[in-house]
Amino acid sequence: MHPTKNDLPETVRTKMVDLLNARLADAVDLQTQMKQAHWNVKGPTFIALHELFDKINEDVEDYVDSIAERAVQLGGIALGTARTAAKHSQQPEYPLNIAEGRDHVQAVTSALATFGKNVRQAIEVSDELRDRDTADLWTEISRGVDKWLWFVEAHLHGQR
């Protein structure tokens, strides 16, 4: 840990940096998954989904930056390389052989739901460790992920 005058105990900061880096790996993975969907979606809803997936990617890019910066603020090192993300991400593998819009919608909803669940668990851990600022960061991210999940799931309604 790098020295800091942050008044959270070092034991708490160390645990939080580990948690932040775990979710950072997930967020980097999620971001690349959104680009995978954006680049490869096909079908009659192409333009709507193409643009939607790109907007999600933009927000996830902001989440990546916020998570990484919080780890550094606490005296840690942000571990955000592609190789680190690939090694540590808890996101399910995104299917690479799909093209149809509905298939991408299903894959994106699964990816967002998994990330959202892990972020909500991070809120609880942050609260237990009394790091309210990091809990607040996770809450903001959770609200955003839930919004995007809602937007993407809307594409499944009326098609059942």
The tens digit of pLDDT for each residue in 6-48 reads 989 999 999 999 999 999 999 999 999 999 999 999 999 999 9
Give the mean pLDDT of the chain.
Answer: 96
CB of 19 closer than 8 Å to CB of 125: yes
User: Does residue 3 form part of some domain?
Assistant: no
87-97 confidence digits (pLDDT tens):
999 999 999 99
User: Does residue 78 form part of some domain?
Assistant: yes
Domain that holds residue 78: 10-156
pLDDT computed for residue 22 by the predictor: 98
Query: Is the per-residue pLDDT at 145 higher than 90?
Result: yes
User: Does residue 123 form part of some domain?
Assistant: yes
User: Does residue 14 form part of some domain?
Assistant: yes
Average pLDDT over residues 64-91: 97
88 secondary structure, DSSP code:
H
User: Does residue 45 form part of some domain?
Assistant: yes
User: Does residue 112 form part of some domain?
Assistant: yes
**Number of separate domains in the chain:** 1
C-alpha span between 134 and 125 (Å, rounded): 10
User: Does residue 125 form part of some domain?
Assistant: yes
Q: What is the pTM of this model?
A: 0.95
CATH number at residue 37: 1.20.1260.10
Conformational region of residue 131, where left means phi above 0, alpha means psi within -120 to 50, and beta covers everything else? beta
User: Does residue 4 form part of some domain?
Assistant: no
